[in-house]
Amino acid sequence: MAAAALTALVTGCGIRTTSVPVDAGAAPSRVPCSVTGESASATAAQGVPVRVFLVCGSQLEAVDRRTPLPEANAGGDPVVTAKGLLVQLLAEPSDDERQAGFTTAVRGPLVVGDGYEGDPAGTLRLSRQPEDLTPVALSQIVCTFSASSAGAGDHTVLLGGPGPYAPKRYQCTTELKERPESAPPTTAPPEATTGTPTGTETSGTTTGPATGSAAPGATPAG
């Protein structure tokens, strides 16, 4: 009876009741966050299939793309894979992706390469310190790399920057995908190796990036 009276009172005052979302999580998305099959198949014959994480509706969503990487390297060499994926993250979304609500927070100049001598196996080094990137951009990179052969297993990736700092193991979690503006969680990296990462060359007892190796933009120790 009281509820009916209250409803009549509210209606009589000209106030219309509305349903208000009370989800404590990220704001509900009003965009589709999905590229149609026709659009996705338009470039199906070009390049190697890869998956990247873009921003849509304040969350991270996986998007299937094609990269011109040689197929032999796309799934085998972590550094080659990471380079190809980073190019995709730096690229502006296609018209179809934009219409579906996708954007990217990853901005250049930014490149990726091998770890330094003494880094744990599988380390990748960016030309900027990971913590200097925006949280959303770093979240995109972490989730994209960790879901590929560039990852270190268990949805993680070992990342460092050009500075003389130890790399960190970043993890892509469900919570991070839902709130990419938060800092990606880190765990203790494995013990550093005593040798040189595959594909790097060093001379003498030089430490840091090897000649022609990762962390482009960093100056090799002389």
Question: 176 with 77: CB under 8 angstroms?
Answer: no
- pLDDT, tens digit (0-9, with 9 covering 90-100), for 98-125: 999 999 999 999 999 999 999 999 999 9
Most confident among 153-157, 191-195, 197-201 (mean pLDDT): 153-157
Assess if residue 2 is contained within a domain: no
- Position 145 in a domain: yes
Q: What is the pLDDT of residues 34-61, one digit of tens each?
A: 886 544 444 455 778 899 999 999 999 9
Which residues make beta-bridge pairs with 39? Answer: none
Domain range for 132 = 46-187
Answer whether 0.75 is exceeded by the pTM.
no
Report the range of poorest mean pLDDT among 12-16, 59-63, 70-74, 190-194.
Answer: 12-16
Is residue 133 assigned to a domain?
yes
Tell me, yes or no, whether 99 lies in a domain.
yes
> Domain for residue 219, yes or no?
no
Alpha-carbon dihedral sign for residues 158, 135, 144, 28:
positive
Name the DSSP letter for residue 112: E
Task: For residue 208, tell me if it sits in a domain.
Answer: no
Would you say residue 202 lies in a domain?
no
Q: Is residue 218 part of a domain?
A: no
Residue 216 clears pLDDT 60, i.e. is over it: no
Q: Which residues pair with 113 in a beta bridge?
A: 125
Cα(197)–Cα(118) distance, integer angstroms: 8
> What interhelical angle do 135-146 and 78-90 show, nearest 10?
140
Residue 135 has pLDDT above 50, yes or no: yes
| Domain total in the chain | 1
